[in-house]
Amino acid sequence: MENTSQREDRLLRCTLFAFFVSGAASQPLGSFIPILRQTYGLSYELSGVLLACQSVGNLLSVLAAGFLPVYLGRRRSILLTAVWMAAAYLIFASGAGAPALLTAACLMTGVARGGNSNFANTMISTLPGEKAVRGYNLLHGCYAVGALSSPLVLLLFMGRWPSAGWRVMAAGLTLLCVSQLAVYARMPLPPEGGGRSIKTVDRSFLKVRRFWLGAAMLLFYISAEYAVAGWLVTYFQDMGILSAAHSQMMNSLLWLAIFLGRMAGASLTGRVSRSALLLTDGVGFFLSFLVMFFSRTPAVIIAALVCAGFFMATIYPTAFAFGSECVKGNDLGCSVMIFTGSAGGILTPALVGFAAERAGIRAGMGLVAVCTALLLVSIILSVLSAWRETQQRKAE
């Protein structure tokens, strides 16, 4: 018979594996876009729409994930949303290039990504105290491992099979997603509170300022992350800064830096204040991106990209932990927070594509610089609010 600590550890291990698969399957879309553009003759605009479709699916799924467990239970809900990732990569592997099918596949990846994200973050929120904070960093560290591994494997397959390597990669990801479904079907789940009615769900978090400040930080962070991950390879290729092969490796390099940063963040839990970490990351990400954007020297650009990834690493888990303190174990609360944060993921990749079509890819990436500035502003407001709350408690 497992004790509580053992059940929590097993829940954590299963959730970490599932989110690793989510990272491996969700992030390659940015690396696939140049290949799809070349193979099927897609425009910048359609490429931006494909990236935005993933965000639309993600947003709709995150919202639905807050309500589905009330009626279906958590296990059935996550199986219902996660299965679409396997279906999407089956379409990619088939070689079907009709715009409607590609659009549907990108939408499916978003549906699965949103369901995985809401489920994983909710599971970690059920863990106690420091275990939850460390769990968030480990969780997103595993996501980063999956995200950095996929482009490297894609590059390896493209080298081995230049014309069909990306389809072999898609077939492999299909099988990996099936293994994720098997874990979901058998993993231990914490008890679900409340009855089978939406009226019984706790919605008090909607009146808490901390909740909305956390959601604002996620909004601008996800806007920047989705745009960078989706357009980075295309930007380096089309600007002629790096070769096609080196450009493909930049996504993996970015996610390697993010992974290392998240592992460092997990080790710093309890030793560095959340506010100090957020401020350092916000300033560092903003400055690193500006250096990468304005520089034309490959060595400087690569160094700035690594720095940007390292500072990006702990923004999402720390911001989520900041806002989720009022929604522990609440599927709807985690859903609304991720939903609000993910809204920018719909608009930003598409806006970058539209700007690139009309004024060049550099103009499109300029929009990402604006997102990093807005992220820094939201972090500063959150830190100031947390400081005021602390001062008020001391005064009482």
Secondary structure (DSSP) of 132-159: HHHHHHHHHHHHHHHHHHHHHHHHHHHH
Instruction: Quote the CA–CA distance of 131 and 103 in Å, as a whole number.
Output: 39
354 alpha-carbon distance from chain centroid: 22
Query: pTM here?
Result: 0.70
The yes-or-no verdict on residue 365 having pLDDT over 80 is yes
* Of 266, 263, 255, nearest in space to 305 by CA: 255
Band of the pLDDT at 329, cuts 50, 70, 90? low
Encode burial over 202-213: b for 16+ CB neighbours within 10 A, e otherwise.
eeebeeeebbbb
Tell me what pLDDT residue 318 has: 83
The yes-or-no verdict on residue 89 having pLDDT over 90 is yes
Highest mean pLDDT among 156-165, 190-199, 345-354 belongs to: 156-165
Q: Which residue has the tokens 């599971």?
A: 123
Highest mean pLDDT among 20-34, 77-91, 206-220 belongs to: 77-91
The answer to which of 92-101, 119-128, 193-202, 293-302 has the lowest mean pLDDT is: 193-202
91 alpha-carbon distance from chain centroid: 22
Residues contacting 362, CB < 8 A, separation 6+: 235, 239
Residues contacting 215, CB < 8 A, separation 6+: 323, 336, 337, 340, 341
Tell me what pLDDT residue 170 has: 92
| Alpha-carbon distance values, 372 to 52, 277, 304, 366, 386 (Å) | 19, 16, 14, 10, 21
Tell me what pLDDT residue 24 has: 92
Tell me what pLDDT residue 168 has: 93
Residues contacting 390, CB < 8 A, separation 6+: none
pLDDT, mean of residues 349-361: 83
The yes-or-no verdict on residue 243 having pLDDT over 60 is yes
Higher pLDDT, 79 or 7: 79
Judge contact between 51 and 33, C-beta under 8 A: yes
Sign of the torsion angle spanned by Cα atoms 386, 144, 173, 105: positive
Tell me what pLDDT residue 184 has: 95
Tell me what pLDDT residue 304 has: 92
Higher pLDDT, 280 or 64: 280
DSSP assignment, residue 207?
A: G
pLDDT, mean of residues 247-262: 82
| Alpha-carbon distance values, 26 to 30, 173, 177, 243 (Å) | 9, 10, 11, 24
* Of 260, 55, 14, nearest in space to 147 by CA: 260
Judge contact between 151 and 252, C-beta under 8 A: yes
Band of the pLDDT at 1, cuts 50, 70, 90? low
Q: Which residue has the tokens 């399957």?
A: 25
Highest mean pLDDT among 40-44, 47-51, 102-106, 137-141 belongs to: 102-106
* Of 7, 41, 20, 379, nearest in space to 214 by CA: 379
